[in-house]
Amino acid sequence: MAAEAVGSGGGSPSSARRRLRIISGHLRGSGRAALSPSPCKAQGGPAGPAAGSIPKKRQELLKWNGWGYNDSKFIFNKKGQAEFTGKRYRLGGMVLPTFKEWIEKTFGASLEHKTTSRASLNVNDVPPSIVNEEFLQDLRATNISYSQDAEDRVFRAHGHCLHEIFVLREGMFKRIPDIVVWPVCHEDVVKIVELACKHNLCIIPFGGGTSVSSALECPEEEKRTIISLDTSQMNRILWIDEKNLTACVEAGIVGQDLEKQLGESGFCTGHEPDSMEFSSLGGWVATRASGMKKNIYGNIEDLVIHIKMVTPRGIVEKNCQVPRMSTGPDIHHFIMGSEGTLGVVTEVTIKIRPLPEYQKYGSVVFPNFERGVACLREVAKQRCAPASIRLVDNAQFQFGHALKPQVASIFTSFLDGLKKFYITKFKGFDPNILCVATLLFEGDREKVLQHEKQVYDIATKFGGLAAGEDNGQRGYMLTFVIAYIRDLGLDYYVIGESFETSVPWDRVLDLCRNVKERIVRECKEKGVQFAPFSTCRVTQTYDAGACVYFYFAFNYRGISDPIHVYEEIERAAREEILANGGSLSHHHGVGKLRKRWMKESISDVGLGMLRSVKEYVDPNNIFGNKNLL
Amino acid sequence: MSKPGESQQRSPRSHIQLKQKELTSKKRDEFEDILEERRLSSDLRYAMKCYTPVIYKGLSPCKPNAIKTAVLQSEQVQYVIKQLAKEMGESPDIIQEEATEILDEMGHSMQLGAVRFFISFCLSELFCKYWSNIVCSVFLFQLQHAIQEHPVVLLPSHRSYVDFLMLSYLLYTYDLALPVIAAGIDFLGMKIVGELLRRAGAFFMRRSFGGNRLYWAVFAEYVKTMLRNGYAPIEFFLEGTRSRTAKTLTPKFGLLSIVMEPFFKREVFDTYLVPISISYERILEESLYAYELLGVPKPKESTSGLLKARRILSDNFGTIHIYVGQPVSLRTLASGRINLCPYNLVPRHLPQKPSEDIQEFVSDVAYKMELLQIENMVLSPWVLVAAVLLQNLPAMDFELLIEKTVWLKGLTQTFGGFIEWPDNLCAKKAVTSALALHSNIARLVNGHVVLNDKGEEDGAIGEIVFKRALAILMCGNYRNQLLNVFVRPSLVALALQMTRSFRKEEVYSCFSILRDVFSDEFIFFPGISLKDFEEGCFLLTKCDAIQTTQQEIYLTDKGSVIVSFLSAMFRPFVEGYQLIFRYLSKETREAFTEKQFVPGVRNFVFQLLEKGNTQCYEALSSDMQKNALAALVQMGAVKKKKM
């Protein structure tokens, strides 16, 4: 499998192409989207929507009640060993011998106690589609593809919050979209928004469906017809401008397709959020997304040059595509993070870069988390952070360890033993305290090697020991498969979620410790019988602070209302974050899940400013997903 | 190393206490004598005992000097040093030097060896000699758990010098981490003792340093560093100084807000506050306090003074009860109460004046802790005797005294007081032994109990008044231990008498005024006047003194006895305050200094007493005088101005 070649064989001249294969390797899709006739002709671009990785009928490729591809999941095989199925990921088809023990030890879970999801969607449970006939007639006249099919609608009624998945497994949403429409270009969107205004309907834009902020949930009290505006068929790269290194792209394109297609011309955006297989460009803009390699390429707000958005008031865009302008507050910043409350982003001009020549993974072991954070702080101070640098705490390190596949040869296992001996016995690291930083370098080969040395030198000053490329690479691979683990947990009474924040450097340690401790304490108070799994990683570094990512999961056997308990604990954790000087969100957004803290976060006046924009742009609340405000 | 003869001499009393360390209330089984074992084994073995204390889970062990270094180098202290250097145009080195000096003056140098020596030899001998027993609540496992989990702040009541190191003694005995103790700088004036205390874990704070930013920064950082590192439990007295009247003093907030700050800034996950009640059957400084209250200056702390005191100490001082309250989680107290946003917007090392709601919170916590202390104070039978006796001067029939004492015992228990009175101990025995222990205050003469209020020979009238005041204040200081338990129902009783009304509303408004007037005299949780009133009414209902309807309050037949007893109990305060107000309105025409005030009132009251125009001897107490003035200032009747 292509992905196996990643990094380790650095230095070959075709590394750029290999990088491409990596992405297409672990992100390989079926690419069978139906082409619908379209009047849209983009300037100089190919006609009609490109064949994206994610089909229009999402259910053909993706799980209806869990994360990711149908064929990829963790299972316990006949021997009772954990295994990851499918061929999409590097871990695919591999046996994970220690994973079962880890689950049992960490959660007190047992393979004998299983819950089962409903096998399939029960169409009879689905709320009926209520759409008035006049609108349907108008819609048909536009020739825009639409569907009132129950599956299509349920698929677009949720993101990937725990409670949403839980509802899919065991119940049904009270309110879902009444109709799904698939515009294929900007003009289609304009027509749809016009129709919605005319008939006073509610539009909820849908991109990749990877929201973890309840942003896609339909407000229960919404009486109007809800249109789910699926942007997935607006997925073309309209043009590439090599002189200015920009590309104009339709907003529905998903991350993996964008990188694949740009790669064919030798470019990339470098924007790689963990959800990049499924999440869309428009979604990134709407949530103020952040990518793993932001240290080189920047976050979405650094990448975006121009945005075109269709609102009930009309189209909003700038008159030029320039690197910076001083024309009052940047209107892009009303759009970025608006979470679908103002309109639909249709086209985005984004910065592109030549594909990097060389990529190298790395990892460093630190004696403890404190030293690790100190090292990351120093790296940030010297502004020499590699494309990505992440520090996982001990619990997450052990988690990663449990996901190690069976080693093929005695030699490898001997080497592993030797490494372990060296670190724990010879260097005196306590395996229950140590933590690991994973690194990804990118760029010219020369510079990468130079850069690598600089970072490792700093690490040494903080007691760090280089721990090999393989560990680093595995760390990043896990980012993509970790989302699949929750579905396995759900089968065994384990529920969990991740959440994130950003925090000034001097508070990182206190925040990590306090939030983890708060989770443990809340679990105890709420009657959770086994100590929860509560772990964090410092996942981005900035000049003034860092982004911290938490995973939190627990065994809910014996609890009658696990989702409620879960939500209370998550809420307590968020309150703890805020009390520790952390932000409401670094990149997941607010949605409906974190709305209650908005006033506290941006002040009354701040909230009023946002409200007045909403009132001007969308006075009739056509974009009525009720996010943010 | 107590001499066999001595211990035998005391053994009958000790015996009773040891075998029957029971208390009348629910808490009876929670106490354990810590001297019992001490008497059986040698001091040396105790000193050398294997001490492997339970410590904070996140502790990174370090030496006292390392803490000082960390404090000096801390961003907090460095920031203030730089600021001051800039403002005063001095070199930072000079200010740094000054900070080092402050730190050297302040810092403890706890050494286990010194602690072992101090505790085992000095204290053990002292304790075994002069106290029948030291009894402590055995619910220490909660404390043990707390010490492991989060930084711990020990908040004992302060009635005597003996309080210092009492907890160290206790924690050493029970294999718990030894505390560092905030002590007044005046101890350093005492040769050897000061240094010994330092080695035993005491650190020293100046009495007032509000204006000195460097001192404040160094001191605060010193305390916070120890707290954050979980170096040791931090012990200090919320009351700030020894209460001379055995009533709990209103809390001081400075040190409390310092130890709470690391939690506010989330440098620690939580902090445990542990209210501790140390009750003395007989207070070592009893007569000293009475003199002090009457304005005879207290001798300066000196080693020779202490040695002399030791010689005086040939008496028995009864039992000491230590009740270690349940650790209170600061996080739980704060939950939902305070907005931490201000702390998020300023770097944490900058000195920051706490916001108003934080200040209010600190004050609430302080009062809450003191109320918890009060709740767990152990009252001895003598306290009841003293309260009864003071209402029946000059002499009281012994049998009547017993009868009244038993009656009061019942009432006290109804009000939630915690009395050390074994179930099977007959009343006569209890009162007799109480009188025996306090024979310096009262004695039995021809079947009557009288105060020892006469000098050896009859002197001038002034002398007689003074002697009498001394006896009454000493006796009053024991009755005072009851007051905080009784204050709510008693103020309702007083209000009932004063208003002569049945209307709840009127009674409440009178109660509310009384509560404000006595806000410095007794401990009330701020701002819950109505709740206090309702509690008072509830307790009076509970003992069948009153019946209440929605609008009205009725006295029952039984009630008049109770109500008049309660109001008589607080009568000295009402009358005393009236005298003080009279002095202020008649005698002072213009502004006066605080220094002039106390002697002024004292002379005024003294003259009235001499002429026989009042019987309120307690108005001579400087404590009452200061409290009255403070209350007036608070209510805006008197204005305080800096001249």
Kind of pairing, strands B395-397 and B442-445?
unpaired
CB contact under 8 A, B269 and A514: yes
Distance of CA A183 to the CA centre of its chain: 24
Taking residues B376-385, report their average pLDDT: 94
Closest chain B residue by Cα to residue A513: B269
Residue A603 vs residues A75, A593, B339: alpha-carbon distances, Å: 47, 18, 13
Q: Say which residues have a Cβ less than 8 Å from residue B590's Cβ, sequence separation at least 6.
A: none
Closest chain A residue by Cα to residue B331: A518
Does pLDDT of A256 surpass 70?
A: yes
Contact list in A for residue B348 (CB cut-off 8 A) is 506-507
Q: Contact, A132 vs A225, CB < 8 A?
A: yes
Contact list in B for residue A581 (CB cut-off 8 A) is 266, 343-344
CB of A424 within 8 Å of a chain B CB? The answer is no
Mutate to test the interface with A, among B75, B229, B261, B266 (most CBs of A within 10 A): B266
Q: Which among B340, B347, B348 has the least Cβ separation from residue A579?
A: B340
Which residues of B475-602 form beta strands (DSSP E)?
Answer: 546-548, 553-555
Question: What is d(CA A573, CA B534) in angstroms, rounded to the nearest whole number?
Answer: 38
Kind of pairing, strands A465-466 and A388-392?
unpaired
Question: Quick one: which of B204, B207, B205, B201 has its CA closest to B177?
Answer: B201
Q: Indicate the range of A390-394, A497-501, A625-629, B288-292 predicted with least confidence.
A: B288-292
Both structure tokens of A125: 């449970």
Show which residues on chain B lie within 8 Å of chain A, measured between beta carbons. 266-267, 269, 340-341, 343-344, 347-348
Does pLDDT of A200 surpass 90?
A: yes
Contact list in B for residue A513 (CB cut-off 8 A) is 269
- Only one residue has tokens 């349920």, namely A154
CB contact under 8 A, A510 and B267: yes
Neighbour tally for A342: CB within 10 Å: 25
Both structure tokens of A241: 């401008």
Q: Which among A506, A511, A517 has the least Cβ separation from residue B348?
A: A506
| H-type alpha helices, B20-74 | 35-40, 43-47, 64-73
Closest chain B residue by Cα to residue A514: B269
Please state the residue numbers annotated as binding site of A.
205-211, 287-290, 339-345, 486
Q: Confidence class of residue A154 from pLDDT cuts 50, 70 and 90?
A: very high
User: Could you report the predicted ipTM of this complex, rounded to two decimals?
Assistant: 0.85
Closest chain B residue by Cα to residue A503: B344
Q: What is the pLDDT of residue A167?
A: 92
Q: Contact, A391 vs A376, CB < 8 A?
A: yes
Find which of B276-285, B358-367, B427-436 is predicted with most confidence, using mean pLDDT.
B358-367
Does pLDDT of A212 surpass 80?
A: yes
Catalytic residue, from A549, A551, A556, A566: name it: A549
Q: Contact, B569 vs B490, CB < 8 A?
A: yes
CB of A506 within 8 Å of a chain B CB? The answer is yes
Residue A61 gets which letter from DSSP?
T
Could you read off the pLDDT of B263-275 as tens digits, one per residue?
999 999 999 999 9
Both structure tokens of A159: 């993101």
Mutate to test the interface with A, among B269, B345, B350 (most CBs of A within 10 A): B269
pTM for this entry: 0.87
Cα torsion B521, B526, B527, B530 to 10°: value is -60
Does pLDDT of B27 surpass 80?
A: no
Q: Contact, B142 vs B325, CB < 8 A?
A: no
Does pLDDT of A164 surpass 90?
A: yes
Contact list in A for residue B340 (CB cut-off 8 A) is 578-579
Instruction: Print the SS3 string covering A207-250.
Output: CCCCCCCCCCCCCCCCCCCEEEEEHHHCCCEEEEECCCCEEEEE
Residue B33 forms beta bridges with which residues? B135
Question: What is d(CA A526, CA B478) in angstroms, rounded to the nearest whole number?
Answer: 46
Question: Quick one: which of A391, A388, A509, A531 has its CA closest to A451?
Answer: A388
Radius of gyration of chain B (CA): 25
Residue A577 C-alpha, separation from nearest chain B C-alpha, in angstroms: 10
Residues in chain B: 643
Q: Indicate the range of A396-400, A535-539, B44-48, B531-535 predicted with least confidence.
A: B44-48
Residue B156 C-alpha, separation from nearest chain A C-alpha, in angstroms: 28
CB contact under 8 A, A514 and B341: no
CB contact under 8 A, B266 and A518: no
Contact list in A for residue B272 (CB cut-off 8 A) is none
Q: What is the pLDDT of residue B24?
A: 39
Q: Say which residues have a Cβ less than 8 Å from residue A237's Cβ, sequence separation at least 6.
A: A45, A50, A247, A248, A249, A250, A253, A258, A261, A262
Q: What is the pLDDT of residue A43?
A: 44
Taking residues A43-63, report their average pLDDT: 75
Taking residues A115-135, report their average pLDDT: 89
Does pLDDT of B131 surpass 90?
A: no
Contact list in A for residue B150 (CB cut-off 8 A) is none
Residue A509 C-alpha, separation from nearest chain B C-alpha, in angstroms: 9
Amino acid at position B366, single letter: A
Q: What is the pLDDT of residue B96?
A: 93
Could you read off the pLDDT of A263-322 as tens digits, one per residue?
999 999 999 999 999 999 999 999 999 999 999 999 999 999 999 999 999 999 999 999
Residue A461 C-alpha, separation from nearest chain B C-alpha, in angstroms: 21
Residue A511 gets which letter from DSSP?
H
Neighbour tally for A289: CB within 10 Å: 26
Q: Say which residues have a Cβ less than 8 Å from residue A272's Cβ, sequence separation at least 6.
A: A255, A259, A291, A292, A293
Residue B336 gets which letter from DSSP?
T
Q: Contact, B204 vs B187, CB < 8 A?
A: yes
Q: Confidence class of residue B158 from pLDDT cuts 50, 70 and 90?
A: very high
B447: left (phi over 0), alpha (psi -120 to 50) or beta: left
Could you read off the pLDDT of B229-265 as tens digits, one per residue?
888 999 999 999 999 999 999 999 999 999 999 999 9
Q: Say which residues have a Cβ less than 8 Å from residue B80's Cβ, sequence separation at least 6.
A: B213, B214, B217, B351
Q: What is the pLDDT of residue B305?
A: 59
Higher-scoring residue by pLDDT: A163, B51: A163
Question: Quick one: which of B250, B323, B336, B300 has its CA closest to B518?
Answer: B250
pLDDT more than 90, % of chain A: 76
Does pLDDT of A412 surpass 70?
A: no
Taking residues B299-320, report their average pLDDT: 64
Q: Say which residues have a Cβ less than 8 Å from residue A59's Cβ, sequence separation at least 6.
A: A151, A152, A155
Which residues of B290-403 form beta strands (DSSP E)?
Answer: 319-324, 328-329, 395-397
Question: What is d(CA B277, CA B137) in angstroms, rounded to the nearest whole number?
Answer: 10
Does pLDDT of B284 surpass 70?
A: yes
Q: Indicate the range of A263-267, B195-199, B298-302, B572-576 predicted with least confidence.
A: B298-302
Find which of A593-607, B4-18, B439-453 is predicted with most confidence, using mean pLDDT.
A593-607
Does pLDDT of B313 surpass 60?
A: no
Neighbour tally for B91: CB within 10 Å: 10
Residue B105 C-alpha, separation from nearest chain A C-alpha, in angstroms: 31
Q: What is the pLDDT of residue A421?
A: 72
Q: Contact, A362 vs A466, CB < 8 A?
A: yes
Q: What is the pLDDT of residue B16?
A: 28
> Peptide bond preceding B599: is omega within 30 degrees of 0, i.e. cis?
no
Question: What is d(CA B425, CA B433) in angstroms, rounded to the nearest whole number?
Answer: 11
Question: Quick one: which of A222, A246, A294, A213 has its CA closest to A543?
Answer: A294
Q: What is the pLDDT of residue B19?
A: 28
Taking residues A543-550, report their average pLDDT: 96
CB contact under 8 A, A506 and B347: yes
Radius of gyration of chain A (CA): 24
CB contact under 8 A, A517 and B269: yes
Please state the residue numbers annotated as binding site of A for substrate.
486
Q: Contact, A350 vs A249, CB < 8 A?
A: yes
Q: What is the pLDDT of residue B203?
A: 93
Distance of CA B25 to the CA centre of its chain: 22
Could you read off the pLDDT of A589-599 as tens digits, one per residue?
999 999 999 99
Does pLDDT of A525 surpass 80?
A: yes
Both structure tokens of A21: 């294969």
Closest chain A residue by Cα to residue B343: A581
Closest chain B residue by Cα to residue A572: B335
Amino acid at position B222, single letter: Y
Contact list in A for residue B267 (CB cut-off 8 A) is 510
Question: What is d(CA A290, CA A301) in angstroms, rounded to the nearest whole number?
Answer: 9
* Residues 518-537 in A contacting B (C-alpha not used; CB under 8 Å): 518
Question: What is d(CA A133, CA B517) in angstroms, rounded to the nearest whole number?
Answer: 77
Could you read off the pLDDT of B604-640 as tens digits, one per residue?
999 999 998 999 999 999 999 999 999 999 988 888 8
Q: Contact, B178 vs B172, CB < 8 A?
A: yes
CB contact under 8 A, A506 and B341: no
Higher-scoring residue by pLDDT: A616, A49: A616
Q: Confidence class of residue B1 from pLDDT cuts 50, 70 and 90?
A: very low
Residue B284 gets which letter from DSSP?
T
CB contact under 8 A, A506 and B266: no
Could you read off the pLDDT of A2-51 as tens digits, one per residue?
333 333 333 444 554 554 454 444 444 433 333 344 455 444 444 456 67
Question: What is d(CA B373, CA B275) in angstroms, rounded to the nearest whole number?
Answer: 6
CB contact under 8 A, B266 and A600: no
CB contact under 8 A, A514 and B348: no
Kind of pairing, strands B234-235 and B328-329?
unpaired
Question: What is d(CA A268, CA A353) in angstroms, rounded to the nearest whole number?
Answer: 5
Residues in chain A: 629
Q: Look up A297 and say whether it is catalytic.
A: no
Does pLDDT of B5 surpass 50?
A: no
Taking residues B536-562, report their average pLDDT: 91
Residue B345 C-alpha, separation from nearest chain A C-alpha, in angstroms: 8
CB contact under 8 A, A581 and B269: no
Question: What is d(CA A533, CA A551) in angstroms, rounded to the nearest whole number?
Answer: 8
Closest chain B residue by Cα to residue A517: B269
Q: Confidence class of residue B43 from pLDDT cuts 50, 70 and 90?
A: low
Q: What is the pLDDT of residue A204?
A: 97
CB contact under 8 A, A507 and B348: yes
Kind of pairing, strands A95-96 and A179-182?
unpaired
Taking residues B339-355, report their average pLDDT: 86
Question: Quick one: which of A339, A340, A311 has its CA closest to A196?
Answer: A311
pLDDT more than 70, % of chain B: 88
Could you read off the pLDDT of B476-519 as tens digits, one per residue?
999 999 999 999 999 999 999 999 888 999 999 999 999 999 99
- Only one residue has tokens 């000087």, namely A581
Which residues of A431-521 form beta strands (DSSP E)?
Answer: 435-443, 465-466, 494-504
Taking residues A210-231, report their average pLDDT: 96
| H-type alpha helices, B205-253 | 213-229
CB contact under 8 A, A514 and B340: no
Task: Count how many pairs of residues, chain A against chain B, have C-beta atoms within 8 Å.
Answer: 20
Question: What is d(CA A495, CA A562) in angstroms, rounded to the nearest whole number?
Answer: 8
Question: What is d(CA B399, CA B407) in angstroms, rounded to the nearest whole number?
Answer: 12
Q: Indicate the range of A90-104, A364-378, B24-38 predicted with least confidence.
A: B24-38
Q: Contact, A274 vs A293, CB < 8 A?
A: no
Q: Contact, B282 vs B336, CB < 8 A?
A: no
Residue B97 C-alpha, separation from nearest chain A C-alpha, in angstroms: 28
- Tell me if residue B215 falls in helix, strand or coil: helix
Closest chain B residue by Cα to residue A510: B267
